[in-house]
Amino acid sequence: MDFTRRQFLKLSGAVAATIAVVELGFDDKKARAKSKDFKIAELKPTSTICPYCSVGCGILVYSKDNDVIYSEGDPDHPINEGTLCSKGTTVRQVYTSEKRITKPMYRAPGSNKWKEVDWDWALDKVAQNIKETRDRTFVHKENGVIVNRTDAIAYLGGAALDNEECHLLHKLFRAGLGLTYIEHQARI
Amino acid sequence: MTNHWNDLQYADVLMVIGANPAENHPISFRWISKAIEKGAKLISVDPRYTRTSQMANTYAQLRSGTDIAFIGGMINYILENELYHKEYVSAYTNASYIVDDQYSFKDGIFNGYDEKTRKYDKKQWGFKKDKEDKIIKDPTLKDPRCVFQLMKKHYSRYDIDTVVGVTGTDKETYKEICKAYASTGEVGKAGTILYAMGGTQHTVGTQNIRSYAILQLLLGNIGIAGGGVNALRGESNVQGSTDFGLLYHNVPGYMEVPTDADVTYQGFLDRITPKSGYLTNKPKFYTSMLKSFYGDNATKQNEFGYHFMPKLGAGKDYSYIRLFDAMYRKEFEGLMMFGANPVVGGPHASQSIKSLANLKWMVSIDLFETETSSFWKKEAGSDPASVQTEVIFLPACSSYEKEGSVTNSGRWMQYRWQAIKPKGESKADLEIVHMLARRLKELYKNSPNPSDMSLKALTWNYGESDHPDIDLVCREINGYDMKTKQQIKSFGDLKDDGSTSSGCWIYCGFYPENENLAKRRDNTNEGMSNFLNWSYAWPANRRILYNRASSDLNGKAWSKDRVGIVWNSVEGKWKGNDIPDFAATKGPDDPTFIDPFIMIAGGKGALFAGINEGPFPEHYEPYENPISNAFSSVQLNPAVQFGEKATNAKGDVSKYPIVATTYRVSEHWQSGSMTRNVPWLAELVPHMYIEISEELAKEKGIAYKDRIIVSSARGEIEAYALITKRFKPYKLKDKTVHHIGMPWHFGYNGIATGATANVLTPNIGDANTTIPEFKAFLCDIRRAK
Ligand code: SF4
């Protein structure tokens, strides 16, 4: 059964024929014949890495349309070899949790509630806030030395982001905007 | 980690100190178990009997904040009994270097100390040099002024009785651990040290880790399979986010940030480039990085765009605690947070909430509403009407709703593919930063202002749509030839003349011309479980750092069971189970043939190294402590800096007699936003609790599940009492102290809610890193009613 899974994973985009069989512990052969009927059999697994701790376990996520149906430890992954801890096991619910925020929100000064806003408005507002503060506080030269910095905007975060995101965040906020207060979880 | 997760199976002895992998890195424990199955011994050193302790052969109780005493005693034991790896110590470390005559140590203070600034002049801890400016050495290690002898003298004060009187460890257990761990100093044996935040989150955090490294160097445990100094990192990509310079003092690849004292690029490079060792190449890495930021706008004429970069105020500390100090003093207006929840995760949390109200605006980019994003709410203890901060929340999507790579603790850069479209209107952070950058560039497009040239010069070529092309980002990180646009094969090919570009030199090589190697999924084990064709490990796909030390002086493996790389004299190159840490053809004729520590000038492991509080780790008590220092009359690390007085309250033992620490549980993660909002995990650990010993419970008349109040000089919290055998009173030299502990994951938002432990923790940091002292503070407890 492992063979089927592994072979399957190498054919990216193929349809999982026997995944459900393995997971549900049914008789392999009988179930294989019927596998079309299983919900999960139609699904495409996608390989990902656990978003929680830094062991970096491999996870397969099975999704369909707008839903994540199932996830399991990646049997091919050399570190976890198919196993996961409580957090990795629950990764599906990071998507399905009703607590997810799905629209940008705005809280006006003094207000006691959020208001949903659209992306364009929110991003324009963020860009304007940055520009307004930056323009007022930016130091181009100090004592004759070009310093190109603002100490009035801080940046925090990044330990859960992708490398590519960290690169662009660093590039924009330090190299582009001149922030000095740049920190993230490695310090705490 | 110098090594990686699968490698743990090759250890003979594993010492876990300041970490709890069975609980917090559960799957890593498979490889620890494998080592145990093969006969390895596991030692667990922790204030509390943890899940890791339960699996260990030996458990040692250690009062929070006394690691240096504990390890110092082990160093003493090893030196006194000559149990160190003699060849390794003599040839691969700086043990033989003769130290400058000025060096001295008296009653807790090294030479060169200035009381007023609480700083040392580190230049006074140099080595003696001959007429040709070469360091004088004594390979016999007998000269009384050589590092080895000075170290021996320094740690001779760490005798077992003094040590256990400070740490509270049972004496027999301590001796047993000294003996078991010292056994790895035998040629061919391997011992590994695993640590996490229990090591770093102290006023002496950096010296704690240095003490582990010294122990490992003495025993010949670095560079070999089953060895190393291994930091178990907490978040999936805290390795990567650090590699990419998201800390005020580093740009990508652990290079320096210029200050206003660095008026020219050349002067700056001269300051940051060492005279020997691999980092003599730094100018190539730095210039290539500037090219990745500013492209063709970085020219020889404008010092490769050096002045586009912000320069820090020389000597100013911009680290996390200081950032919140500045916020308290209303020194800044805006805060951008990409997945951060400081009012749960930062020290002195109740103060952080108040300081946030001093902001003009704040932007929170996250999956869930965090305690920080809604700090203005009544539930946070704020009065919304009086909080004038404008708050914008942008919904981010999760890791499998987008694609990109993360770097695990073993430095494996692993790709994650997209499984589903982002939920609702949420977006990838990559997309958010891209859309924001495009807007900002548009806003500044026509500015003639010299202040805005950096942003105008910044290249942002990731496609014209709102959705950036991640492949272009990956290619930029790796780097390319500016003329041909061909990808660079390795960081050895980077140039300092502006002809190459590379966003992060330590990653250069992960994306040669046609393949992003982070996507590799070949799990063939070609030897020593290094999985060289699975993903990509920085630097240069090396799996064990300093692997030259896996072989003896002639290039022969110390142990046939632990072959890292070996010198093949017939083929004239290094071969084996890993990628050599240097040019594979470097043979015995090369004077650096026996220099494994390529990143250090001189190539030798640093037993003696100038960091802020001295060349040898010395025990000082935590900021808040229950006893006076047994090793000197200096109570607190003399190089620790104090920040904003108003946010720095200190508790005294007379009022707060109990030692407290914080930790994590398997079912929650960090500040909890990604676990307390997930139904199953919230259900598994739904409540905040405080672990107290049976003895303390009896003394205070507290029963299991009673609501109790824990107070510190910063504030108080209420939670359930969990009475446990896992904590025991500490029998120190002159008195017995109680020790309690609690998880720090909770806050008022989400499905599972509870009091925030960091309301109690102090706003003081390590003397080198300013990492807060979360792990050792004083408190008192009482029943809630
Ligand atoms: S499954 Fe558990 S051990 Fe593995 S990476 Fe995720 S949180 Fe860490």
pLDDT digit string (tens) for B404-443?
Answer: 999 999 999 999 999 999 999 999 999 999 999 999 999 9
Of residues A80, A138, A148, nearest to B311 (C-beta): A148
- Closest residue of B to A123, CA-based? B436
Select from A87, A89, A93, A94 the residue to mutate for testing ligand 1; criterion: most ligand atoms less than 8 Å from CB.
A87
Q: Which tokens belong to B497?
A: 């003349």
Task: Give me the pLDDT at residue A7, please.
Answer: 42
Is A13 at the interface with chain B, CB within 8 A?
no
Burial category of B584 from C-beta neighbours within 10 Å (exposed 0-12, middle 13-18, buried 19 and up): middle
- Residues from chain B that touch A164, judged by Cβ atoms under 8 A, are 404-405, 430, 470, 473-474, 477
CA angle B504, B509, B512 (to 5 degrees): 120
Residue range A136-177, pLDDT digits in tens = 999 999 999 999 999 999 999 999 999 999 999 999 999 999
List Cβ neighbours of B276 (8 Å cut-off, separation of 6 or more). Answer: B601, B602, B603
pLDDT at A52 over 90: yes
β-pairing, B390-395 vs B480-481, is: unpaired
Contact (CB, 8 A) for A146 and A140: yes
Q: Which of B693, B720, B291 is nearest to B478 (CA)?
A: B291
Q: Which chain A residues are within 8 Å of B473, Cβ to Cβ?
A: 164, 167-168
Nearest CA to ligand 1 atom 2: A85
Residue of B7, B406, B501 to mutate when probing chain A, most A C-beta within 10 A: B406
Residue of B nearest to A9 (CA): B521
The per-residue pLDDT for range B155-211, each reduced to its tens digit, is: 999 999 999 999 999 999 999 999 999 999 999 999 999 999 999 999 999 999 999
Count of residues for chain A?
A: 188
| Test the A interface: residue of B3, B23, B244 with most A CBs within 10 Å | B244
Question: What local confidence, expressed as pLDDT, does residue A34 receive?
Answer: 54
In B685-721, alpha helices (H): 694-700
Q: What percent of chain A has pLDDT over 70?
A: 78
Polymer length of chain B: 785
Query: Which atom from ligand 1 is nearest to the alpha carbon of B669?
Result: 7
Interface check for A154 against chain B (CB to CB < 8 A): the answer is yes
The per-residue pLDDT for B601 is 86
Residue A36 has pLDDT above 60, yes or no: no
Which of the four CATH numbers 2.30.30.30, 3.30.70.270, 3.30.200.210, 3.60.20.10 does domain A39-100 have?
3.30.200.210
Query: Which sign does the torsion angle of CA A114, A117, A122, A125 carry?
Result: negative
Q: Which of A18-22, B204-208, B546-550, B714-718 has the lowest mean pLDDT?
A: A18-22
- Model pTM score: 0.95
Q: Among A84, A89, A90, A94, which is best to mutate for testing ligand 1, by the most ligand atoms less than 8 A from CB?
A: A84
Rounded to whole angstroms, how far apart are CA atoms B436 and B7? 42
CA end-to-end span of chain B: 47
Partners of B404 in the β-ladder? B416
B645-783 folds as Barwin-like endoglucanases (2.40.40)
Q: Report the atom number in ligand 1 closest to the C-alpha of A85.
A: 2
In this prediction, residue B785 carries a pLDDT of: 81
Q: Which atom of ligand 1 is nearest to the CA of A86?
A: 2
Q: Is A100 on the interface with B (CB under 8 A)?
A: yes
Res. B527 pLDDT band, cuts 50 70 90: very high
Which of B24, B197, B235, B246 to probe by mutation at the A interface, max A CB count within 10 Å? B246
Mean pLDDT of chain B: 97
Q: In percent, how much of chain B has pLDDT > 70? A: 100
Of B292, B296, B274, B294, which is closest to residue B283 (Cα–Cα)?
B274
The whole-angstrom distance between B6's CA and the closest CA on chain A is 6
Partners of B454 on chain A (C-beta within 8 Å) are 148, 175-178
Section B13-38 average pLDDT:
98
CA distances, B473 to each of A175, B430, B441 (Å): 16, 10, 18
- Please state the rounded mean pLDDT for residues A35-58: 84
CA of A94 to the centre of ligand 1 (A): 14
Q: What is the pLDDT of residue A13?
A: 35
For B445, counting Cβ atoms within 10 Å of its Cβ (0-12 exposed, 13-18 middle, 19+ buried), the class is: exposed
Radius of gyration of chain B (CA): 26
Neighbour order of strands in the sheet with B404-407: B404-407, B412-416, B536-537
Whole-number pLDDT of residue A4: 39
Label the pairing between strands B480-481 and B500-501: antiparallel
List the domain boundaries for chain A: 1-37, 39-100, 138-187
d(CA B239, CA B410): 9
The first and second tokens of residue B349, run together, are: 């949390």
CA of B759 to nearest chain A CA: how many angstroms apart? 14
Nearest to B507 by CA among B403, B414, B602, B604: B414
Chain B residues touching residue A188 (CB < 8 angstroms): 320, 342, 345-347, 771-772, 774
Instruction: Provide the pLDDT for residue A38.
Output: 61
Question: Which pLDDT score, from 0 to 100, does residue A65 have?
Answer: 85
For residue A10, pLDDT beyond 90: no
Contact B331, A154 (CB under 8 A): no
Instruction: Please tell me the number of Cα atoms within 13 Å of B368 on its side-chain side.
Output: 23
Name the residue with the closest Cα to ligand 1, atom 8: A53
Nearest-CA residue for ligand 1 atom 4 is A57
> Average pLDDT of B702-713?
98
User: Helices marked H in B234-391 — which ranges?
Assistant: 238-243, 265-272, 282-294, 320-328, 342-345, 349-356
- Cβ atoms of B463 and B437 within 8 Å: the answer is no
Give dist(CA A121, CA B393) in Å, integer: 12
Residue B408 to residue A125, Cβ atoms within 8 A = no
Give me the residue from A148, A159, A172 closest to B241, CB to CB. Answer: A159
| pLDDT band at residue A5 under the 50/70/90 scheme | very low
Q: Determine the atom of ligand 1 nearest the C-alpha atom of A52.
A: 7
Mean pLDDT within B15-35? 98
Q: Average pLDDT, stretch B281-288?
A: 98
Phi/psi for B711 (5° steps) reads: -125, 145
3-state secondary structure of B57: coil
Average pLDDT over residues A33-52: 77
Distance A97 CA to ligand 1 centre (A): 19
Which residue of A lies nearest to B439 if distances are taken between CA atoms? A127
CA A86 to chain centre: 18
Residue nearest to ligand 1 atom 1, measured at CA: A88
Chain A, chain B: beta-carbon pairs less than 8 Å apart: 482
User: Cα(B393)–Cα(B116) distance, rounded to whole angstroms?
Assistant: 44
Which residues of A, range 52-81, sit inside 8 Å of B by Cβ?
A: 52-59, 61-63, 66-68, 76-81
Gyration radius from chain A CA atoms: 24
Is the four-CA dihedral B606, B611, B616, B619 of positive or negative sign?
Answer: negative
Tell me the CA–centroid distance for residue A165 and ligand 1, in Å: 21
Provide the pLDDT for residue A44.
84
Gap from A28 CA to chain B (nearest CA, Å): 26
CA of B25 to the centre of ligand 1 (A): 6
Q: Which of B338, B530, B753 would you mutate first to test chain A, the one with the most A CBs within 10 A?
A: B338
Residue ranges of domains in chain B: 5-231, 320-400, 645-783
A49 Cα nearest atom in ligand 1: 5
Here the tokens at position B127 are: 């080595």
Identify which of B28, B363, B507 has the shortest CB distance to residue A55: B28
- Residues A48, A55: Cα–Cα separation, whole Å: 13
Q: What local confidence, expressed as pLDDT, does residue A3 receive?
A: 37
Cβ–Cβ < 8 Å for A177, B455 = yes
Closest residue by Cα to atom 3, ligand 1, is: B27
Q: How many CB atoms lie within 10 A of CB B723?
A: 20
Residue in B51, B306, B401, B433 to test binding to A, most A beta-carbons within 10 Å: B433
Query: For B253-272, how does the pLDDT look when each residue is reduced to its tens digit (9 = 90+)?
Result: 999 999 999 999 999 999 99
Contact B25 A97 (CB under 8 A): no
**Helix (H/G/I), strand (E/B), else coil: B717:** strand
The tens digit of pLDDT for each residue in B667-687 reads 999 999 999 999 999 999 999
Ligand 1 cavity residues, CB under 6 Å:
A 50, 52-53, 55-57, 80, 84-85, 87-88; B 25-27
CA distance B694 to B432: 51
Query: For residue B205, what is the DSSP state?
Result: H
pLDDT at A19 over 70: no
Q: How far is the CA of A84 from the centre of ligand 1 (A)?
A: 6
In this prediction, residue B707 carries a pLDDT of 98
Sign for the pseudo-dihedral over CA of B601, B603, B604, B605:
positive
Cα(A49) to centroid(ligand 1), Å = 9
Give, in words, the CATH class of B5-231.
Answer: alpha beta
Contact residues on chain B for A184, CB-CB shorter than 8 A = 238, 241-242, 246-247, 340
The token duo for A17 is: 């024929």
Q: Under an 8 A CB cutoff, do A95 and B420 touch?
A: yes
Buried b (16+ CB within 10 A) or exposed e, B336-360: bbbbbbbbbbbbbbbbbbbbbbbbb
Q: What whole-number distance in Å separates Cα of residue A2 and Cα of residue B270?
A: 57
Q: Are B578 and B528 in contact (CB under 8 A)?
A: yes
